Amino acid sequence: MPPRSQLRRARDGWLDHLRVERGRSEHTLGAYRRDTDRYLDFLAGAGVTEPGKVREQHVTDFLAHLRRGDDEHRPLAATSAARAVVSVRGLHRFLTLEGEVRTDPSQEVAPPTPPRRLPRALSVHEVERLLQAASVGDTPAALRDRALLEVLYGCGARVSEAIALDLDDLELGRPDAVDMAAGGGVVRLFGKGSKERIVPMGRYARDALDTWIVRGRPGMATRGRGTPAVFVNARGGRLSRQSAWNAIKAAAGRAGLGGDVSPHTLRHSFATHLLDGGADVRVVQELLGHASVTTTQIYTHVSTQHLREVYAQAHPRARG
């Protein structure tokens, strides 16, 4: 067996450090070994076998090689290539800290950015099916789940915001409500960083909340210690995030919508349907509680599908 190169010995020392000093799992160490094996083979092909001979261009070329592939390896997606680059950067950072080399040649090489997945939005018809499926029977749990889903969709609330709601945060049908003619109200939500925002609430969400608070909540709440929470569990305590997720998953299953419907799906749908209906993106930003309009603008890409559908149906030259 040929002797190990300086780089390979240094890499093995790094893995030993991760195992002994950092307590990394064998699964993680195996991934690091595979990534850096390929990297060291690439460097050896370029005639580089010593840590001090590695330059930034070598790391950059390796990244390009990963994305391009070769006769033995298929091209890697951005996510897989990014993981490999993270392994390489960990190795070089270790060698720098250990004094093996003066500078880190990988420091300025950024991992590729995976393409941003557009959030899934349900159609209006799918949301209606989901909300109908949330209320099976007339039990307190069914009334609560329907009210919860109506708030998530009707207000664009995060699940953490919805389960944190207290009774004092609701102003149902107050005189200066935005849509008093439709029987709406407003709700006070506390978002990231405890930032408060007031969001209008339509009649459907208001009615579902009214029904839950009057007919369903009292029986559950009396089993607890007098929590002010709007949404409570069977023991009378505040509903947990996991229980909220389970309620949505169960409703999605009954509605035949598959297993990828989450609380955020309803928030995405809220934003997309507002934009499809002509709402200004900055109004949607305010309703969602985004600090920057840039975050909200991802929904304008989702709504492009709606524009394509309208164009295909309405323009005389859209169909060939």
> What are the structural domain ranges in the chain?
6-97, 124-311
- Token duo for residue 227: 């929590």
Reply yes or no on whether 192 is catalytic.
Answer: yes
- CATH superfamily placement of domain 124-311: Intergrase catalytic core (1.10.443.10)
Other Cβ atoms less than 10 A from the Cβ of 284: the count is 21
Q: How does pLDDT run across 123-182, given as a tens digit for each residue?
A: 999 999 999 999 877 899 999 999 999 999 999 999 999 999 999 998 855 444 334 334
Reply yes or no on whether 267 is catalytic.
Answer: yes
Task: Give the residue-averaged pLDDT of 87-108.
Answer: 94
| Identical topology for domains 6-97 and 124-311 | no
Reply yes or no on whether 264 is catalytic.
Answer: yes
Catalytic one of 17, 93, 264, 306:
264
* DSSP class per residue in 92-156: HHHHHHTTS-SS-TTTT-PPPPPPPPPPP---HHHHHHHHHHH--SS-HHHHHHHHHHHHHHHH-
Task: Give the residue-averaged pLDDT of 309-319.
Answer: 71
* CATH code for residues 6-97: 1.10.150
Q: Which residue has the higher pLDDT, 111 or 38?
A: 38
Catalytic one of 158, 206, 217, 273:
158
Taking Cα atoms as reference points, which of 125, 115, 127 lies closest to residue 267? 127
Rounded Cα distance between 201 and 170, Å, is 10
Rounded Cα distance between 284 and 89, Å, is 40
Q: How does pLDDT run across 28-37, given as a tens digit for each residue?
A: 999 999 999 9
Q: Which residues in 181-232 belong to E strands, given as ranges?
A: 185-190, 196-201
3-state secondary structure of 12: helix
Reply yes or no on whether 254 is catalytic.
Answer: no
Q: How does pLDDT run across 182-209, given as a tens digit for each residue?
A: 456 888 998 877 788 899 988 999 999 9
Catalytic one of 32, 39, 153, 299:
299
- Helical packing angle, 56-68 and 26-45, nearest 10°: 110
